[in-house]
Amino acid sequence: MTSTSSPIHLDLEATRHAAEVGSTVEPVLVAKDVSVYYGDFRAVRDVTMSINRGEITALIGPSGCGKSTLLRCFNRMNDLIESARVEGTITYHGIDIYGPGTHPGEVRRRIGMVFQKPNPFPKSIYDNVAFGPRVNGLRNRSELDEIVESSLRRAALWDEVKDRLKSSALGLSGGQQQRLCIARAIAVDPEVLLMDEPCSALDPIATGRIEDLMNEIKSDYTIVIVTHNMQQAARVSDRTAFFTTEISDSSDRRTGVLVEYDLTEVIFSNPSDERTESYVTGRFG
Amino acid sequence: MTEGPLSDRLEPQVASLTGTTSRRRRFLDGLFRFATIASVGVALLTLGALLVDIFLQGRPRLNPDLLSNMPSSRPERAGIQSAIFGTLWCVGLTAVVSLPIGVATAIYLEQFARRDRWYVRLVELNIQNLAGVPSVVFGILGLAFIARGPLSWGFTVGTGAMVLTILVLPTVVIASREAIRAVPSSFVDGALALGATRWQAVWRQVLPAAIPGIATGSILSVSRAMGESAPLLLLGALTFVTFNPTGLDSGYTVLPLLIFKYASDAKQELHVVAAAAIIVLLVLLLTLNTTAIMLRNHFEKRRH
Ligand SMILES: Nc1ncnc2c1ncn2[C@@H]1O[C@H](COP(=O)(O)OP(=O)(O)OP(=O)(O)O)[C@@H](O)[C@H]1O
Ligand SMILES: [Mg+2]
């Protein structure tokens, strides 16, 4: 296959795959020309991509290419980094999440996040899951009980912890803690879940459970996952975005760019960019 | 793999277990351990000797009369009651005012302030510098601006407490900031990612986790106020005060000043009273510091 013929071929194939994944592709989050700066350093350059409802989108690429940086833009967690500045627009159902009237707390309630390192609060299992509903104003005890139970069930943790809801979350294993963090995130009923290498601190069995869990909940939640694990991206995601770093013209540090964004099968079996191909086949980074 | 090569490979390592390098290292290790134990020992022995000496000196006057009598230059009637109350008033007021202000400042600087604002850097710089200013300078400041000058509050317990507050505030802020900074930022991130406001994250995650450290650090800083005499010397903490403070505008004396007065008196009998008063001051200090430790343990236990 020559490089000139491949784009056409890919387009056809992409359409076919799109038809298989879901007939209606509805974008939930749309990033347009997004660049992120840390001070003067441009960490990510001109990313344009859309995250589709009900899909699992994987962000892959070598270390430092800005996957976490971009992910944090989607729910304004970059606001917490003083030097960070976002250019371009990100819309959620057409609303600019960096717009003047938008409250970051509201954005984060709808677009939840699971961190790389499990970060349960030093409170009981119950209080961890109830934290989100509580800060959003829910006081009713029986409603809280219900939310805690259903969230823990969804996160496939209920059976393991139902007898010790009042004991400290810090006593759970790493895998259980991460599932607790997922339960905590879905307790506020978000539409999108952002996950930054959620399995990197877990063993293969715990990882498998989280992947099963993602597959189970993906009909209700749109998921964006950053992962360094190619098999994981291939296993769980519908679409994959490959990023890499490029020497930029303005500084000597490497800036992250989006190389290719397509259906996962295409990225892994028939990518249109050489850099994607060498990365997914393990010949790079 | 055969046995021969393995033991061959192990032999040099086994040899090093008993070799000369290891012997030298063990000697150095032992020497260092001896040096540290010796220095701790010297410090503890000196402290112990001083305590025993004071206790033996002061024992004849360690009785209820010491606590119930008012200060006096007549040895047989000399007590320390008004100084105890004066000290408690000063330290109590200092704690009540400096803890809320100090902790609030620490929360602001750690959780809300932006480091790139000039006024934030100015406040930080000042706190660092103020913590290192000799206490007598605060006394002069208090004399010029609080006792006299703009506020003209006179030589009152209120003036004394206000100056002590300014004196301990920087250390309260620094201790509280340390405690707040020790709370993992992942708690705040986790809370904010669930839609909490900054204030909710601070109130529900940061403060509960930081309180043990804040309590210990702040109480230890405030207890410093108990031993201060230099600034109060300038602020008219009189010595032979025969009444307890009844309000912010009362005259007052404090234990360190009264001790100094008794100890520098020509009458030998008053030196015994000074020694006894030192023991009382030490007991008060110890009580405060024990409270700090108990508070910390209490909160730490509650968290798990
Ligand atoms: N808080 C920050 N302040 C300054 N620079 C940062 C900050 N966070 C990340 N960077 C820089 O931005 C670039 C992208 O970082 P980012 O963490 O997004 O990469 P990543 O793709 O998630 O890498 P990894 O796979 O190792 O997690 C890197 O050059 C990094 O040094
Ligand atoms: Mg990352």
Confidence of residue A119 (pLDDT cuts 50, 70, 90): very high
Report the pLDDT averaged over residues A26-44: 93
Give nearest CA residue, ligand 1 atom 9. A69
Question: What is the reported pLDDT for A116?
Answer: 92
Contact in structure between B245 and B159 (CB atoms under 8 Å): no
User: Is A126 a domain residue?
Assistant: no
Contact in structure between A187 and A172 (CB atoms under 8 Å): no
Question: What is the reported pLDDT for A11?
Answer: 47
% of chain A surpassing 70 pLDDT: 89
Give nearest CA residue, ligand 1 atom 4. A38
Give the C-alpha distances (Å, rounded to integers) separating B106 from A64, A165, B113, B128.
34, 34, 10, 13
Using CA atoms, how far apart are residues B45 and B42, in angstroms rounded to an integer? Answer: 5
Backbone angles phi, psi at A243, to 5 degrees: -115, 155
Examine the pLDDT at A272 and tell me if it is beyond 70: yes
Q: Quick: pLDDT tens for A217-242.
A: 888 899 999 999 999 999 999 999 99
Q: State the number of CA atoms in the 13 A half-sphere of A278 facing the CB.
A: 9
Confidence of residue B231 (pLDDT cuts 50, 70, 90): confident
H or E element in which residue A206 lies: helix A204-217
Q: Which stretch of A73-77, A252-256, B47-51, B281-285 has the lowest confidence by average pLDDT? A: A252-256
Examine the pLDDT at A4 and tell me if it is beyond 60: no
* Vertex A183 angle, CA B194 and B180, to 5°: 45
Q: Is A68 in the pocket of ligand 1 (CB under 6 A)?
A: yes
Atom of ligand 1 nearest to the CA of A71: 18
Question: What is the reported pLDDT for A9?
Answer: 46
Q: Do A113 and B193 touch (CB under 8 A)?
A: yes
Q: Indicate which CATH number applies to the domain containing A11.
A: 3.40.50.300
Give the domain extent around A16: 7-118+190-280
Report the pLDDT averaged over residues A264-282: 90
Examine the pLDDT at B218 and tell me if it is beyond 90: no
Using CA atoms, how far apart are residues B83 and B258, in angstroms rounded to an integer? Answer: 7
Give the C-alpha distances (Å, rounded to integers) separating B112 from A49, B105, B201, B205, B217.
33, 10, 11, 15, 21
Give the C-alpha distances (Å, rounded to integers) separating A274 from A125, A233, B171.
47, 19, 60
Examine the pLDDT at A17 and tell me if it is beyond 70: no
Examine the pLDDT at A252 and tell me if it is beyond 90: no
User: Is A143 a domain residue?
Assistant: no
Q: Is A83 in the pocket of ligand 1 (CB under 6 A)?
A: yes
Examine the pLDDT at B239 and tell me if it is beyond 60: yes
Q: Which of A36, A42, A47, A67 has the most ligand 1 atoms within 8 A of CB, as the residue to mutate?
A: A67
Phi-psi region of A58 (alpha: psi -120 to 50; beta: other; left: phi over 0): beta
Report the pLDDT averaged over residues A167-195: 94
Q: DSSP letter for A12, please.
A: H
Work out the minimum CA distance from A12 to partner chain B, whole angstroms: 39
Q: Do A108 and B187 touch (CB under 8 A)?
A: no
Q: A-side interface with B, Cβ within 8 Å?
A: 75, 77, 80, 82, 104-106, 108-109, 112-113, 115, 117, 119-122, 131-132, 135-136, 168, 170, 181, 184-185, 188
Q: Do A108 and B205 touch (CB under 8 A)?
A: no
Q: Quick: pLDDT tens for B134-143.
A: 989 999 998 8
Q: Quick: pLDDT tens for B44-53.
A: 999 999 999 9
- Of residues B132 and A194, more confidently modeled: A194
Question: What is the reported pLDDT for A23?
Answer: 53
Residues of B in contact with A122 (CB under 8 A): 187, 208-209, 303-304
Question: What is the reported pLDDT for A2?
Answer: 39
Q: What's the gap in Å between A68 CA and the centre of ligand 2?
A: 4
User: Is A159 a domain residue?
Assistant: no
B194 contacts chain A (CB < 8 A): yes
Confidence of residue B9 (pLDDT cuts 50, 70, 90): low
HEC readout, chain B:
CCHHHHHHHHHHHHHHHHCHHHHHHHHHHHHHHHHHHHHHHHHHHHHHHHHHHHHHHHHHHCCHHHHHCCCCCCHHHCCCHHHHHHHHHHHHHHHHHHHHHHHHHHHHHHHHCCCCCHHHHHHHHHHHHHCCCCHHHHHHHHHHHHHCCCCCCCCCHHHHHHHHHHHHHHHHHHHHHHHHHCCCHHHHHHHHHCCCCHHHHHHHHHHHHHHHHHHHHHHHHHHHHHHCCHHHHHCCCCCCCCCCCCCCCCCCCCHHHHHHHHHCCCCHHHHHHHHHHHHHHHHHHHHHHHHHHHHHHHHHHHHC
Examine the pLDDT at A282 and tell me if it is beyond 50: yes
Nearest to B209 among A120, A122, A185 (CB): A122
Confidence of residue A200 (pLDDT cuts 50, 70, 90): confident
Locus of tokens 């995130």: A185
Q: Take residue A197 and report the two structure tokens written for it.
A: 């290498």
Question: What is the reported pLDDT for B69?
Answer: 80
Examine the pLDDT at B113 and tell me if it is beyond 50: yes
Question: What was the ipTM of the complex prediction?
Answer: 0.86
Domain coordinates in residue numbering, chain B: 6-61, 65-303
Q: Is A60 in the pocket of ligand 1 (CB under 6 A)?
A: no
Report the pLDDT averaged over residues B287-301: 83
Question: What is the reported pLDDT for A3?
Answer: 40
What global pTM score does this model have? 0.81
H or E element in which residue A252 lies: none
Using CA atoms, how far apart are residues B71 and B66, in angstroms rounded to an integer? Answer: 9
Helical axes A141-154 vs A125-135, angle rounded to 10°? 120
% of chain B surpassing 90 pLDDT: 40
Using CA atoms, how far apart are residues A133 and A144, in angstroms rounded to an integer? Answer: 7
- Which residues are close to ligand 2, an ion, with C-beta < 5 A? A 68
Tell which B residues from 118 to 137 touch A, by Cβ distance under 8 Å. Answer: none
Residues of A in contact with B188 (CB under 8 A): 80
Q: Is A154 in the pocket of ligand 1 (CB under 6 A)?
A: no
Q: Quick: pLDDT tens for B192-217.
A: 999 999 999 999 999 999 988 898 88
Report the pLDDT averaged over residues A261-285: 86
The domain B65-303 is placed in CATH, from the list 1.20.120.430, 1.10.3720.10, 1.10.540.10, 3.40.50.11400, at 1.10.3720.10
Counting the structural domains of chain A, the total is 1
By C-alpha distance, which of A138, A124, A210, A126 is closest to A174?
A210
Backbone angles phi, psi at B73, to 5 degrees: -85, -5
Q: Is A73 in the pocket of ligand 1 (CB under 6 A)?
A: no
Confidence of residue B14 (pLDDT cuts 50, 70, 90): low
Contact in structure between B296 and B216 (CB atoms under 8 Å): yes
Q: Do B190 and A181 touch (CB under 8 A)?
A: yes
Using CA atoms, how far apart are residues A61 and A223, in angstroms rounded to an integer? Answer: 18
Mean pLDDT of chain B: 86
Q: What's the gap in Å between B214 CA and the centre of ligand 2?
A: 33
Confidence of residue A113 (pLDDT cuts 50, 70, 90): very high
Q: What's the gap in Å between B182 CA and the centre of ligand 1?
A: 23
Q: Take residue A52 and report the two structure tokens written for it.
A: 């589709």
Question: What is the reported pLDDT for B12?
Answer: 60
